[in-house]
Amino acid sequence: MTSTILTRRAMLSGGTLVGLGALLAACGQQATNETSASASSTAAPSETASAVASDAASASATPSPVITRGYSGGSKAPDGEYSMAQNVPLPKAKPQQYPETFAGLREMMTDWVRARNYGIQTGDMQYVWPYMRDTYEKDIKFLKDIEGLYQRGG
C-alpha cells in the first residue's frame, strides 16, 4: 500500500500552493507600500510636518529605506511623462557582406534586430532601412508608423 501523503502529485500541488501564496503575499506588500506612499504624499502639509517631526524624534541611527513605485531616475513615465531613450547602443552604420553560412545568417539577423530595436527606441530608422526590401510591406508600414510617432512628439 502506497502512502497518499507523499505522492508526487501531492508534493507538486503543495509546492504550487506555497509558491502562489508567496507571490500573492509579495504583491500585497507592494500594494501596501504604494498605498502608504501615495497617502503620505497627498497628506496636508501640516499633517506631513507633524509626521516628520514625530518620525525624527523616534528615528534610530539606521535610516529607513525609501520605497518607490517601480521606476528609477525620478521619471514619472507611468504617470504619462515622455522621455527620449538614453544610452541605446548604435547599430552598425551599414549592412556588411556576410558569409553564406549559418553563422553569417545569424550575424546578419542579429545586426538587423539591433538596427530595428534602435529605430523603435529612438525613432531613428536610418540604420534599419538598408536591410529592408520593397516587398516587406507590413514591416515598412510599421517602421514608418514608428517614425511618424516620434515626429509627432512621441
What would the mean pLDDT of 30-39 be, rounded to a whole number? 62
d(CA 38, CA 42): 6
pLDDT attached to residue 95: 79
Sign of torsion, CA 117 122 126 132?
positive
Q: Which of 86, 88, 68 is nearest to 78 (CA)?
A: 68
Q: What is the pTM of this model?
A: 0.45
Q: Band of the pLDDT at 36, cuts 50, 70, 90?
A: low
> pLDDT tens-digit profile of 41-71?
555 554 444 444 455 545 555 666 666 555 5
- Tell me: pLDDT of 144 over 60: yes
> Around Cβ 108, how many Cβ atoms within 10 Å?
16
Average pLDDT, the chain: 74
Rounded percentage of the chain residues whose pLDDT exceeds 90: 23
Q: For the residues of 39-97, what is the DSSP string, one character each? A: HHHSS-HHHHHHHHHHHHHH--SSPPPPP-SS--TT--GGGT------SPPP--SS---
Query: Is 52 or 133 the better-scoring residue by pLDDT?
Result: 133
- Tell me: pLDDT of 123 over 70: yes
> pLDDT tens-digit profile of 3-33?
666 787 777 787 787 777 777 777 776 666 6
- Tell me: pLDDT of 99 over 60: yes
Rounded percentage of the chain residues whose pLDDT exceeds 70: 58
